[in-house]
A and B are shown apart, each in its own frame.
Chain A
Amino acid sequence: MAALNIKKGATSHSAYELRDPNAQLSESHTLAVLVDNEAGVLARVIGLFSGRGYNIDSLTVAEVDHTGHRSRITVVTRGTPAVIEQIKAQLGRIVPVHEVHDLTVEGPSVERELALFKVAGAGEKRVEALRLADIFRANVVDSTLESFVFEITGTPAKIDAFADLMRPLGLADVARTGVAALSRGV
């Protein structure tokens, strides 16, 4: 499996230097896992993370090839470099997994998340919410006299920032999809 470049995990350091996992900082990595869309495949991937004590910060999954029945699972996870290497190797040996890509290290990539925000309010707050939504290029996908539903797409950080602004303006509900990511270029 090309995505599992074993050499990357190898080290010329002595056995001593990498011993203490706490000595290394935890990193966030975005992994793209291409799988056969068969029954239970998502449970296998999630079960691996929970069973071995890994973190999932975000998870998205959908079939991306309807004829070949392939799904793409995008996982944002955290861990020391050694743990990240182990996560990739463990994912790679799940039988219906075809490819594992670490988008964080394999070159530049784009990450996007979609979110829906329900903001309830009246008067000045309502106007201000609409004005900020315009700045963030959020679309209004539902409106009543007391509320808006905004649709916003962007990096998780942008969506967090939008949420912070909406909170004092009557934020009633949020739905987020989690991160979808692709490498840049070909």
Chain B
Amino acid sequence: MARMMSGAAMVVQALKDQGVEVVFGYPGGAVLPIYDEIFQQNEIIHVLVRHEQGAVHAAEGYARSTGKPGVVIVTSGPGATNAVTGLTDALLDSIPLVVLSGQVPTFMIGTDGFQEADTVGITRPCTKHNWLVKDTDKLAETIHRGFHVATSGRPGPVLIDIPKDVQFATGSYTGPKTVRVESYQPKVKGDIAAITRLVEMIETAERPVFYTGGGVINSGPGASQLLRELVDATGFPITSTLMGLGAYPASGKNWLGMLGMHGLYEANLAMHGCDLMINLGARFDDRITGRIADFSPRSIKAHVDIDASSINKVIQVDLPILGDIGHVLEDLLNVWKSRGRKTNKPGLAKWWGQIEGWKAKKCLAYTNSTSVIKPQYALERLEALTKGRDRYVCTEVGQHQMWAAQFLGFEAPNRWMTSGGLGTMGYGLPASIGVQMAHPQALVINVAGDASFLMNMQEMGTAVQFRLPVKQFILNNERLGMVRQWQQLLHGERYSQSWSEALPDFVKLAEAFGAKGIRCSDPAKLDAAIEEMLAYDGPVIFDCLVEKHENCFPMIPSGKAHNEMLMGDAATEGAIQAGGAVLV
């Protein structure tokens, strides 16, 4: 039965039918009819952000911590263009988002009307798909299709551009069940012959390693469970990308830690020296591979991915398996068990012996101080004091992000929200707001840097308004730390524009927003200060004044291979050579 209603009413009805509980947005001229409908209902909570970029990152945080799509409403023109960074971020990290943007009325499109922008044109390369809806009868169907595209296959952001006259006009509403099956139906089951081939490799490999990524998280909690079962049953070592942390628990006995540019020595050496690499839902990102020519030169590589374009894009693999991680792992486990749960035990024992040798290097060791807080120490204490709690961690982008990945342990998926592919400074604060909206009782911490925090600090207003007790843990070195580190290593210590002049007083800033501010600069008082932050029932900005010139190690310099890592105590002069300098 078709129900007649206005386009604006359809938007709200479609969101309800999709089970949406929270939307993040900012009103404006071209979405006034939708906001009028939002005003007249109580089922969907609208979180008013302070900037549209914040809305998109908040929706990302919501999506990552729940596995459900995040929903955003923005107005035309600047509302939509402000959403572009968040859309690109979500595209690169495969986060399901549905962004609804207002547009000038259809009869004004192309006239350079007030707040008109070619939103579908601008967002075409930074969405998984987008639509301009010119007919109210097609609006509900398009929204439902948008949810399908955003959440199926490799997830990603979609945008639906809705002209204002389409919102006012009346049309027939289509429910989610009656929408025709999309031509877009990604393959989830892996080829069983290829899976069997992988089992054969697992049975004989002497030096295997699991290399997992965000695909495991995106596949759902079931995939993480299956991964744990497989890893523990085979006894293979496992490492993960930044995006995949938490799929296998950090306390697990086979855990090597994160790999990549700032990954752990043992993880990178295991990748370099393995004879069988099993990539589950990771994409051979350049942060992971280092110099391509020397990437894991002696291994057979298997790659399970739901996106065909991820396979053989950067690294040619020997065994590609196209499918959803959860489905493939289920089949893989079944085949492996039915063939007698075989592994090469003598080979594995020798391999673990080698890995223990690498672990003994203690690559995360740093020189602590009693006079100044080392950022690593701050995170160690944060970890120790929050470990047992129902905890979610977001980050901004830079040194603090890498230290957080190194020093915080994640026991479950969907607990770690960080901007990986795009590396968006300003992501963490709004993301923490989205996470807290989804998990009101949980402890939500945003590990931030002083520079990143300033990029979207206006969202403190949102946190205060919605009583979201997010903890902003700023490792304040008064620098753009990662830029400074690269300038030290690569540009002759010429620190061009990488110090934070005229920083605000973060304690007063917190108070100005109506939040609590805490400052700590003494290692002896750090625990008490963190406890104070945790005990406070409301948003906190924690200004943790840390060592200003600490570098993030270990590090694979750009253009180098996994076995050419720099350790904390090594000479870093000329570490990045001319060839690597052109890389980022």
Task: Check: A151 CB closer than 8 A to any chain B CB.
Answer: no
> Is there contact, CB below 8 Å, between B297 and A6?
no
> Is there contact, CB below 8 Å, between A44 and B296?
no
**Bound-complex Cα distance A137 to B149 (A):** 50
Q: Which residues of A contact B311 (CB under 8 A)?
A: 6, 9, 89
B187, closest chain A residue (CB): A1
> Is there contact, CB below 8 Å, between A47 and B309?
no
Task: Check: A82 CB closer than 8 A to any chain B CB.
Answer: yes
Q: Which residues of B contact A51 (CB under 8 A)?
A: 125
| Interface SS majority for chain B | loop
Task: Check: A92 CB closer than 8 A to any chain B CB.
Answer: yes
> Is there contact, CB below 8 Å, between A40 and B307?
no
> Is there contact, CB below 8 Å, between B312 and A82?
yes
**Bound-complex Cα distance A82 to B309 (A):** 11
Task: Check: A184 CB closer than 8 A to any chain B CB.
Answer: no
Q: Which residues of B contact A66 (CB under 8 A)?
A: none
> Is there contact, CB below 8 Å, between A89 and B295?
no
A38, closest chain B residue (CB): B131
> Is there contact, CB below 8 Å, between A93 and B293?
no
Task: Check: A12 CB closer than 8 A to any chain B CB.
Answer: yes
* Residue among A10, A36, A94 making CB contact with B320, cutoff 8 Å: A10
Nearest-Cβ distance from residue B448 to partner chain A, whole angstroms = 32
Nearest-Cβ distance from residue B240 to partner chain A, whole angstroms = 20
Task: Check: B46 CB closer than 8 A to any chain A CB.
Answer: no
Interface residues of A in 1-60 (CB under 8 A from B): 1, 4, 6-7, 9-16, 18-20, 36, 39-40, 43-44, 47, 51
> Is there contact, CB below 8 Å, between B316 and A90?
no
Q: Which residues of B contact A6 (CB under 8 A)?
A: 308, 311, 320, 322
* Residue among A7, A39, A95 making CB contact with B149, cutoff 8 Å: A95
Interface residues of A in 106-145 (CB under 8 A from B): none
**Bound-complex Cα distance A120 to B296 (A):** 64
**Bound-complex Cα distance A15 to B184 (A):** 32
Task: Check: A177 CB closer than 8 A to any chain B CB.
Answer: no
Say whether, besides A19-B292, A40-B120, A13 and B316 are in contact (CB < 8 Å): yes
* Residue among A12, A13, A16, A93 making CB contact with B308, cutoff 8 Å: A93
Q: Which residues of B contact A14 (CB under 8 A)?
A: 297-298
Q: Digitize A84-96: 1 where CB-to-B-CB distance is under 8 Å, 0 elsewhere.
A: 0110011011111
**Bound-complex Cα distance A90 to B128 (A):** 12
Chain B interfacial residues counted at CB < 8 A:
34
> Is there contact, CB below 8 Å, between B320 and A7?
yes
Q: Which residues of A contact B298 (CB under 8 A)?
A: 14
Nearest-Cβ distance from residue B133 to partner chain A, whole angstroms = 10
> Is there contact, CB below 8 Å, between A16 and B121?
no
Task: Check: A98 CB closer than 8 A to any chain B CB.
Answer: yes
* Residue among B120, B132, B307, B320 making CB contact with A93, cutoff 8 Å: B307
Nearest-Cβ distance from residue A13 to partner chain B, whole angstroms = 7
Q: Digitize B249-283: 1 where CB-to-A-CB distance is under 8 Å, 0 elsewhere.
A: 00000000000000000000000000000000000
A98, closest chain B residue (CB): B183
Q: Which residues of B contact A95 (CB under 8 A)?
A: 128-129, 149, 182-184
> Is there contact, CB below 8 Å, between B124 and A4?
no
Q: Which residues of B contact A82 (CB under 8 A)?
A: 312, 316
B129, closest chain A residue (CB): A95
**Bound-complex Cα distance A43 to B124 (A):** 9
* Residue among B132, B295, B307 making CB contact with A15, cutoff 8 Å: B295
> Is there contact, CB below 8 Å, between A44 and B124?
yes
> Is there contact, CB below 8 Å, between A15 and B149?
no
Nearest-Cβ distance from residue B138 to partner chain A, whole angstroms = 11
> Is there contact, CB below 8 Å, between B312 and A90?
no
* Residue among A19, A39, A44 making CB contact with B293, cutoff 8 Å: A19
> Is there contact, CB below 8 Å, between B308 and A15?
no
Task: Check: B319 CB closer than 8 A to any chain A CB.
Answer: yes
A51, closest chain B residue (CB): B125
Q: Which residues of A contact B313 (CB under 8 A)?
A: 86, 89
Interface residues of B in 275-305 (CB under 8 A from A): 292-293, 295-299, 301
Q: Which residues of A contact B132 (CB under 8 A)?
A: 39-40
> Is there contact, CB below 8 Å, between B308 and A4?
yes
> Is there contact, CB below 8 Å, between B312 and A86?
yes
A sample of 5 cross-chain residue pairs with beta-carbon separation below 8 angstroms, ordered by A number, consists of A1-B308, A15-B315, A19-B292, A90-B309, A95-B183
The 10 A-B residue pairs whose C-beta atoms are closest, nearest first, are A89-B309, A95-B129, A89-B308, A18-B316, A9-B312, A90-B309, A95-B184, A19-B293, A10-B320, A6-B322
- Contact surface of B with A, Cβ cutoff 8 Å: 120-121, 124-125, 128-129, 132, 149, 153-154, 182-184, 292-293, 295-299, 301, 307-309, 311-313, 315-320, 322
